[in-house]
Amino acid sequence: MSKIVVVGGGAAGLELVTRLGSQLQGSRDHEVILVEPSSHHYWKPRLHEIAAGTFDNELNAVSYFQHAVCSGYRYVQASMTGLDRSGKILHLRGIDGQATELDYDYLVMAVGASSNDFNTPGVSEHCLFMDSPHQAQQAWQHINPLLRANEPRRVVIVGAGATGVELAAELAKVSQRLGRYSQAAHLQIILIEAAQRILPAGPVRLSEQARRALIRQGVDVRVRTRIQRAEAGCLFTANGERIGSDLQFWAAGIKGDDWLTELDGLETNHLNQLKVSATLQTWQDPDIFVIGDSAECPQPDGSFVPPRAQAANQAACHLATQFKRRLKGRKLQPFVFHDGGMVIAIGHNNAVGALANNKLILKGRLIRTLYDAIFRLHQQVLFGWGRVTALILLKRLKDILNPHYKGL
């Protein structure tokens, strides 16, 4: 029997085990196992909604236990801590803190990445991060009292990539909507970016549309501003300016966790991403694959697959097909990322998007619907269209019956 172990149940890993589970269901020759420390899956591009109190846990969180039973894979609730390649053994730490081991025939690493503080002094101690559902829930614990403070409060967000822009816009929208309640404070939001423009990985016109939409929502957008140091309640720019805040977020860059550099000789790059060939196999070991944000995967034009949800989903889909070939002894095909564009949410009912090879820059409610559709496509892979349709209907109903903001 061959055992395929997938480590990390995020955008890439959970889609992969779902696809493999359904492909291999009923097979006595293969077993699919997911190793993941959390009990529930949250789609990472929606973490800013957890922080802003607008996320619906009941409808959008996926229990790994339940999903595994329905989808034909085994779920092990644990964190990977190490690897023995010669023995094909994973070292794990269970939720009770106990060390255990798990053997594999094929291993897929899909452990994602976190924000990169670029070793900026004080950032890890004095800033909040948005890299996991737990951190987003912690952020909500801090934001909720600010929204009830009855006087202006300031939130500073460093990094204007997708995470920073979506968080700034969502908080601005919540603050605006709560304006109708007398006890609600006004949030002043400052978004800081070191590059020349916000969303530096996207086309210039998209950045401009997003910047205008944020300014319309009252966000103070500051570009070409590099943060040099963080202290409790303030940030210092490279020009020596002190920016005081009630809450400060760090949402700049990405980096893999340090333990990835100590995986029995597997090579990593300067961002701690594991280096793989175009077939998603590590250069040192063809039985170990890496997908999603934790991979550095080359593309035909010499670039690398970007760390985006869309790329994670495509890699999961590609690898599921490649396992079919591999298990039949056939040659693996390279993974080529097809960029379907970039869509960024700007508050609850607005979004900006760059489509058709960046030729089409769009904004508004229709693009927001497209943004929501990307999440629904992820859910469709996990549950099928029947359940997704039910979830859409339930959401509509709850939107009518309940306030959007969970703090009310």
Ligand X SMILES: Cc1cc2nc3c(=O)[nH]c(=O)nc-3n(C[C@H](O)[C@H](O)[C@H](O)COP(=O)(O)OP(=O)(O)OC[C@H]3O[C@@H](n4cnc5c(N)ncnc54)[C@H](O)[C@@H]3O)c2cc1C
Residue ranges binding ligand X (CB under 6 A):
7-13, 35-38, 44-45, 47-48, 79-80, 110-112, 130, 162-163, 166, 292-294, 307-310, 312, 344
Q: For residues 184 and 249, which CB has a smaller minimum distance to ligand X in the complex? A: 249
In the complex, minimum distance from the CB of residue 87 to ligand X, in angstroms, rounded to a whole number: 19
In the complex, minimum distance from the CB of residue 112 to ligand X, in angstroms, rounded to a whole number: 3
Give the list of residues 6+ apart from residue 303 with CB closer than 8 angstroms, or none: none
What distance in Å separates the CA atoms of residue 116 and residue 365, rounded to the nearest whole number?
Answer: 32
In the complex, minimum distance from the CB of residue 397 to ligand X, in angstroms, rounded to a whole number: 26
How many angstroms from the chain centroid is the CA of residue 187? 25
Residue nearest to ligand X (CB): 10
Site of tokens 């779902």? 18
Q: For residues 21 and 112, which CB has a smaller minimum distance to ligand X in the complex? A: 112
Q: For residues 45 and 53, which CB has a smaller minimum distance to ligand X in the complex? A: 45
In the complex, minimum distance from the CB of residue 277 to ligand X, in angstroms, rounded to a whole number: 18
Q: For residues 114 and 184, which CB has a smaller minimum distance to ligand X in the complex? A: 114
In the complex, minimum distance from the CB of residue 212 to ligand X, in angstroms, rounded to a whole number: 18
In the complex, minimum distance from the CB of residue 372 to ligand X, in angstroms, rounded to a whole number: 11
Q: For residues 236 and 375, which CB has a smaller minimum distance to ligand X in the complex? A: 375
The encoded tokens of residue 163 equal 């995470």
DSSP for residue 103 = E
In the complex, minimum distance from the CB of residue 268 to ligand X, in angstroms, rounded to a whole number: 15
Q: For residues 230 and 263, which CB has a smaller minimum distance to ligand X in the complex? A: 263
In the complex, minimum distance from the CB of residue 294 to ligand X, in angstroms, rounded to a whole number: 6
Phi, psi of 217 (to 5 degrees): -85, 5
The encoded tokens of residue 250 equal 């760090």
Q: For residues 175 and 314, which CB has a smaller minimum distance to ligand X in the complex? A: 314
The encoded tokens of residue 45 equal 């591009």
| Beta strand pairing call for 247-250 and 153-158 | parallel
In the complex, minimum distance from the CB of residue 235 to ligand X, in angstroms, rounded to a whole number: 20
In the complex, minimum distance from the CB of residue 285 to ligand X, in angstroms, rounded to a whole number: 18
* Best CA proximity match to 187, nearest among 161, 227, 157: 157
The encoded tokens of residue 186 equal 């006004």
Q: For residues 184 and 198, which CB has a smaller minimum distance to ligand X in the complex? A: 198
